[in-house]
Amino acid sequence: MATPVKDIYKQFLSLINDEEMLLLEEEIIEEMMYSYLQKATFDFYECRKDLSIIGQEESCITIPIGQSEFIIEYNNKFAEIKLIGKYTDKEYEINKDYNIKYKEEDCTITFETETEEEILFKSKYLGEIISDLDLDEIIILAYGMMIWWLQPKILREENLKQMLTDSDYNTKSGANMLAKLCSLEIQIREQLAKYKTRYSYKGFKGWDKIE
């Protein structure tokens, strides 16, 4: 069984407070997190499992007018599904406007009332780690993502500090912002190192147990 990257993203987002990121479009945020995760998997060389990311997909299917039930050849239960009116842009609500039931090779959408417009069935799956990860492995990846999330922020502050005088920098950026970011990076790296050390001894039963 694989691990949806969405589970790792959720853990990562719970660890950070980034108002700037919230202003970005959802697609851009997803691209950024995917980049962070790729690098975090590369850094997590201690992991005993395959951390390959697979299965990203996105599709859009048009449901015709006058449907009370519609079958679509799609069976990914973990994908994000949205039903949008083609011309009204209305977003239909699951368990209110429609229900969806998955089978082995397809899914059946049942509408509360017969559709009065063409509806776009939009599916998006952000992908998955090929292995079934434990919570400690997910947390390590989330902390690894935090390291890469911080890098452009630190670089921006370093560049800004080089361009300005100390007084101008403190006025424009806030006093000691660079120092705060560097301190945060140290804290994250230290915590990540502790998690990795604990992980490396996971299942260890003592030297006398090793043959």
Question: So what's the pLDDT on residue 157?
Answer: 84
Whole-angstrom distance, CA of residue 147 vs CA of residue 195: 14
Name the band, by pLDDT with cuts 50, 70 and 90, for residue 115: very high
Q: What mean pLDDT do residues 54-60 have?
A: 94
Q: Is the pLDDT of residue 209 over 50?
A: no
Q: Is the pLDDT of residue 59 over 70?
A: yes
Q: What mean pLDDT do residues 14-26 have?
A: 90
- Percent helix, percent strand, percent coil in the chain, to nearest 5: 45, 20, 35
Whole-angstrom distance, CA of residue 103 vs CA of residue 99: 13
| Paired strand residues for 3 | 129
pTM value is 0.84
Question: So what's the pLDDT on residue 211?
Answer: 39
Strands laid side by side in the 98-102 sheet: 69-72, 107-111, 98-102
Share of the chain above pLDDT 90, in %: 77
Task: Give the position of tokens 């950070």.
Answer: 16
Determine which of 13-27, 122-136, 157-171 has the lowest per-residue pLDDT on average.
Answer: 157-171
Query: What are the structure tokens assigned to 61, written together?
Result: 């299917």
**Cα 74 to Cα 27, 66, 77, 105, 121, distances in angstroms:** 22, 21, 9, 6, 10
Whole-angstrom distance, CA of residue 178 vs CA of residue 73: 52
Name the band, by pLDDT with cuts 50, 70 and 90, for residue 173: low
Q: What mean pLDDT do residues 75-91 have?
A: 94
Question: So what's the pLDDT on residue 172?
Answer: 60
Q: Which helix (H) or strand (E) holds 11?
A: helix 5-15
Cβ distance 57 to 76 under 8 Å?
yes
Average pLDDT of every residue of the chain: 91
Question: So what's the pLDDT on residue 205?
Answer: 60
